[in-house]
Structure 1
Amino acid sequence: MPNTENAIHKGFGLLFEMGCGKTLTAIMIAGTAYQMGKVEKVLVVAPTSVCSVWPKDFAEFADFKANIKVLMGDKNRRLKLLNDLDNFPFKALKVAVINYESTWREGIFEALYDWDADMIICDESQRIKTHDAEQSKAMHKLGDRARYKLILSGTPVQNNAIDLYSQYRFLDPTIFGTNFYQFRNRYAIMGGFNRHQIVGYKDLDQLIQKEHSIAYRVTKDEALDLPEQTFLQRYITMTGKEKNIYDRIKRESFAELENGGQITAPTVLTKLLRLQQYTGGFLVADGQEKPELVSRGKLNALEEIVDDYVIDAGKKLVIFARFRPEIDLIGKMLEKKKLRYGSIYGDVKLEDRGDIVKDFQTNPETMVFLAQIDTAGLGITLTAADTCVYYSVNFNYAAYSQSLARIHRIGQKNTCTYIHLITEGTIDEVVLKALAKKEDLAKTIVDEWRNYF
């Protein structure tokens, strides 16, 4: 009998660099398969901060009926959402989105396996590069059952070529087999103590040829029709407790403004400032001056980007944040990862700033530039990076616009990518919309302050 395994279980890799449209392409593939009658259920597995992007991208790009559920919350809520998808009475592509860390949890893995998705999309597939990690093993089992599979990644090979095995074990086991140690012995040169360390590689041409036999690579350099600037969002979902605190701060601020007599821009902006500090993870308790860290949602999302983009892809990154406690928190995270970075904020002397910028621009070991947006958003050149993350922004469009130009200026050879970290359902979304309209909140807010609370 002919081997039908590969014919039944089709897999393909979209190895697109950030901003080159891998999510859009995946939605097009899923939609085409749905319209051809080959796919009814799609499971998307993604990093936590990317999960909320998928419903928004489906809404924007899909020209077909789709019902999307993001499986977040406790186990019972996730299982209920999956069940709701199954019971949806109208004809539509059913899409379940879940984060990697949840796929192998007791009760959830079994439910996903029984749901029996026709297609599984593994977004940022480098998340399963470690072959014996729990989430990797869960994805291999789920993938073995699915008829169609996609991996999406700008950095499929990260620290070493061995990273490919687990991703392709999910995608198509016929390419590199199902035994990690056979794969390692085939392509890695072992050495060190008891020959347990990979000291080099062999036959890499063959490995790359096999990799690309079921994958398509797109880099920013090749994507000639990319806009000069690409804007992306990563979303952070607050826990129920965090949302309750946010809503309380919002209500109190509204009440104070409503009953506070004359409304001025400074008074409104001060109240908004408190909300924005909270979405960054900090809260100034009543009677206290020092902000206290109460949430790590944004920091975790930023850490995912740093891992993917700086550590794994080896690219330089600019990070802007508005508040000093955020700068300190991010700095500690970078130090923990042993990443060399330059930092400019209000307390850094003017005469020292030029050397800090020069070091980032010219020193290949300085991978990150971390800056306070009000301090370093003007007049400096950071073209050694083509990607910038906004941990938080200020309310001034002119200052925000100037900060965009730090990487998008003469000397920049690549398309510039900007990633905004946004806490869902908060002031972050409102401010970003205002900035997109090129509004300066300090000028427009007095008459429209109720729209912001």
Structure 2
Amino acid sequence: MAINKHSARSLTLAEDTIKLRCLYEDREAVKQVTGYRWNKAEKCWEFPIRPEVYQQILQMLPGVFVYPDVKLAVNKVVERENQVAQAKVAGWEKVKPVEPIPLRTKPFNHQVLAYNLGLTLPSYAVLAEQGTGKSCITVAVTGRRFLRDEIKRVLIVSPASVVPVWPLEYKTHADFPFEVTPLEGPVAKRIEVLERWERDAEKLQIAVVNYEGAWRMEEALTKWAPDMLVLDEAQRIKTPSAQQSKCMHRIAKKVNYRMILTGTPVTQGPLDFFSMYKALEPSIFGRSFTAFKTRYCIFGGYENRQITAYKNLPELIRKAHTIAFRVTKEEALDLPETTDQKLYCEMETSAKRVYRELVSESMAELHGERVVTAANVIVRLLRLSQVTGGFVKDDTGAVNRVSEAKQRLFKEVMHDLLGTGKKVVVFARFLAELAAIEDDLDRWQIGYSRIAGDVNMAARGEEVRRFQQDKDCRVFLAQTRAAGLGITLTAADTAIFYSLDYSFADYDQARCRIHRIGQRNACTYIHLLARDTVDEKVMTTLQNKRNVADEVVNNWRNYFQIGR
């Protein structure tokens, strides 16, 4: 390496990039280096701080003068990633935490390893499949960084359906002082909450916001000054040009610690990595999407602008995994046999109005009855459950659409699950819900089987066989009571409950369709719930292993309460 600081070629360090100043005739050689970007204002080339990039520059431009801080920065990256690589090789079978884990609940071995890596890496990707405990890992890492006095405030950005889940995760797992606030409702109200939120050095302060809302209140979130950013279901920002992606890129530059969480880092192709890693750690793939595509894509077609294939994929995967922890349910043998998840949707204003009117009518009718029976209460609760699923019958018996909130949530969840290549079982109580789901699957051209009350018994065996054996049959649609007994659906290890049956026996039998002999994986059950509705009340009753009919005679008013 040259030592002449007056060389026409020099490498300097600036923020999170290496800056190269060189001769005009060097430009073609420079473009052979991974992750290049031309800085027009400063008239220099910029590169990510990566050891392989550093070595490429030295090889392509002999005699370049390197300032000492460049080499120090590169060596620091090498040392940190070597630690991570060694920990991964050692595995999690006998892993011990590098520092006490600040959790009330006992973590599984793979979570301990993920925790260790999260403390080693300031920018960290948890590429863990749904049901492997990404949120528990996040609570542990943020808690330890708080106790280390590295962070005071954390911003978690997630899909809207997951925002209400995060306070429950911290309440369940955290063994350290914390204050978590979900930012919901009108943007002006969210901003007001942030502005009134005073700092408290004794507690880790966590704000949770959805992606769609975050970019509309970027200034307020930046002013709140988080020390750490967590992007949950980070595939939501896989499109670099999207508003919410650009917002996350900007906020990420202003924090010292970053995490992304996703079980499906690639849903449409290798290009999905770029935007997520631009927010997480731009040194991995650089900040130029054009340079990234040049490195990993083969172009052809009209005017040579269409991506026809990919190249250098082993390199891409290796680089992505230098700061990532990947685990699937098949690998995490220490997982429990079953995991339950609750995801929430917010009904539209018009649907809430219909729901409230039905509640008022039902309350008035029940108050007017001399004797309140379970059957009478159940009839009225069913009408409310139909509304949360999006449909209601009018006086003529016709079914009318009143909400699409739960169907939007379903689409979001299915997009992620199908992106993993897995099969999925979907349980729904009402035929109108099944019909809406079928419309979606037909539009997506996803193969499915179906069992409901209107499918004759002779045809049901073939529907099951096709799901179990045909790789192109990705989804099994089931009306809960019709498909709750006697069938095996172990081709899937994940089931979605679009709506809930009121019988614990029927609900439990439905769960057993995937969790039975022949199932090799841990099973995940995802429940789609409309917030502040009967959905949540029924879910609580079923979790307590009780039938709704056994609860409603003495407690019927509780089921008709609006809100929590």
Take 1:219 and 1:58, find their aligned partners in 2: how far apart are those partners? 23
Q: Mean Cα displacement is larger for which, 267-276 or 90-99?
A: 90-99
Aligned to 2:31: none
Take 1:415 and 1:270, find their aligned partners in 2: how far apart are those partners? 36
* 1:14 partnered with 2:120: no
Take 1:162 and 1:322, find their aligned partners in 2: how far apart are those partners? 39
Query: Which whole-Å deviations, capped at 9, do the CAs of 1:248-284 have from their partners, x for residues lacking one?
Result: 3223212211211222221111011111111112233
* 1:328 partnered with 2:435: yes
Aligned to 1:50: 162
* 1:220 partnered with 2:329: yes
Q: 1:39 to 1:240 in 2, by over 3 A?
A: farther
Residue 241 of structure 1 and its aligned partner are, at CA, apart by: 5.0
| Residue 544 of structure 2, aligned match among 427, 437, 440 | 437
Aligned to 2:294: 185
| Structure 2 runs not aligned, ≥5 long | 1-11, 17-48, 50-72, 77-120
Residue 3 of structure 1 and its aligned partner are, at CA, apart by: 5.5
* 1:426 partnered with 2:533: yes
Query: Which whole-Å deviations, capped at 9, do the CAs of 1:170-227 have from their partners, x for residues lacking one?
Result: 1011110000111111112222222222222222221111111111111112212111
Aligned to 1:38: 150
User: Contact between 2:159 and 2:232, CA under 8 Å: does it hold in 1?
Assistant: yes
| Residue 400 of structure 1, aligned match among 507, 510, 516 | 507
- Tell me the SS of whatever aligns to 1:122: strand
Q: How many residues align?
A: 448
Map 1:122-161 → 2, pairs under 5 A? 122-161=231-270
Q: Which amino acid aligns with 1:95?
A: I
Q: 1:288 to 1:78 in 2, by over 3 A?
A: farther
Q: Which amino acid aligns with 1:293?
A: R
Query: Which whole-Å deviations, capped at 9, do the CAs of 1:134-163 have from their partners, x for residues lacking one?
Result: 211111111111111100001112221111
Aligned to 2:271: 162
Aligned to 2:95: none
* 1:103 partnered with 2:220: no
Take 1:59 and 1:239, find their aligned partners in 2: how far apart are those partners? 29
Take 2:161 and 2:460, find their aligned partners in 1: how far apart are those partners? 33
Take 1:359 and 1:293, find their aligned partners in 2: how far apart are those partners? 31
Residue 240 of structure 1 and its aligned partner are, at CA, apart by: 5.0
| Residue 230 of structure 2, aligned match among 117, 121, 138 | 121
Residue 420 of structure 1 and its aligned partner are, at CA, apart by: 0.5
* 1:93 partnered with 2:204: yes
- Tell me the SS of whatever aligns to 2:344: strand
TM-score normalized by structure 2?
Answer: 0.76
Take 2:353 and 2:164, find their aligned partners in 1: how far apart are those partners? 20
Map 1:258-337 → 2, pairs under 5 A? 258-285=367-394, 287-310=395-418, 312-337=419-444
Map 1:328-367 → 2, pairs under 5 A? 328-367=435-474
Take 1:4 and 1:238, find their aligned partners in 2: how far apart are those partners? 45
- Tell me the SS of whatever aligns to 2:468: helix
User: Contact between 1:69 and 1:82, CA under 8 Å: does it hold in 2?
Assistant: no
Q: 1:144 to 1:88 in 2, by over 3 A?
A: closer
Q: Which amino acid aligns with 2:426?
A: I
- Tell me the SS of whatever aligns to 1:434: helix
Higher relative contact order (CA 8 A, sep 6+): 1
Take 1:217 and 1:441, find their aligned partners in 2: how far apart are those partners? 40
RMSD: 1.9
Query: Which whole-Å deviations, capped at 9, do the CAs of 1:298-329 have from their partners, x for residues lacking one?
Result: 1111111111111x212111110001111111
User: Contact between 2:342 and 2:528, CA under 8 Å: does it hold in 1?
Assistant: yes
Q: Which amino acid aligns with 1:101?
A: E
Residue 65 of structure 1 and its aligned partner are, at CA, apart by: 2.1
Take 1:63 and 1:288, find their aligned partners in 2: how far apart are those partners? 56
Take 1:178 and 1:414, find their aligned partners in 2: how far apart are those partners? 39
Query: Which whole-Å deviations, capped at 9, do the CAs of 1:104-153 have from their partners, x for residues lacking one?
Result: 22xx1222222232111000011111111121111111111111110000
Aligned to 1:172: 281
Take 2:321 and 2:284, find their aligned partners in 1: how far apart are those partners? 10
Residue 88 of structure 1 and its aligned partner are, at CA, apart by: 5.5
| Residue 411 of structure 1, aligned match among 518, 528, 548 | 518
Q: Could you tell me the percent identity over the aligned residues?
A: 43
TM-score normalized by structure 1?
Answer: 0.94
Q: Mean Cα displacement is larger for which, 254-263 or 326-335?
A: 254-263
Take 2:245 and 2:13, find their aligned partners in 1: how far apart are those partners? 29
Take 1:451 and 1:89, find their aligned partners in 2: how far apart are those partners? 36
Q: Which amino acid aligns with 2:476?
A: F
| Residue 490 of structure 2, aligned match among 383, 387, 401 | 383
Take 1:291 and 1:77, find their aligned partners in 2: how far apart are those partners? 36
Take 1:277 and 1:397, find their aligned partners in 2: how far apart are those partners? 19
Query: Which whole-Å deviations, capped at 9, do the CAs of 1:316-374 have from their partners, x for residues lacking one?
Result: 11110001111111111222222121222111122111111111111111111111101
- Tell me the SS of whatever aligns to 1:351: helix
User: Contact between 1:10 and 1:172, CA under 8 Å: does it hold in 2?
Assistant: no
Take 2:177 and 2:347, find their aligned partners in 1: how far apart are those partners? 29
- Tell me the SS of whatever aligns to 2:126: strand
Q: Which amino acid aligns with 1:343?
A: R
User: Contact between 2:390 and 2:406, CA under 8 Å: does it hold in 1?
Assistant: yes
Take 1:14 and 1:415, find their aligned partners in 2: how far apart are those partners? 19
- Tell me the SS of whatever aligns to 1:410: coil
- Structure 1 or 2, whichever has the larger Rg, is 2
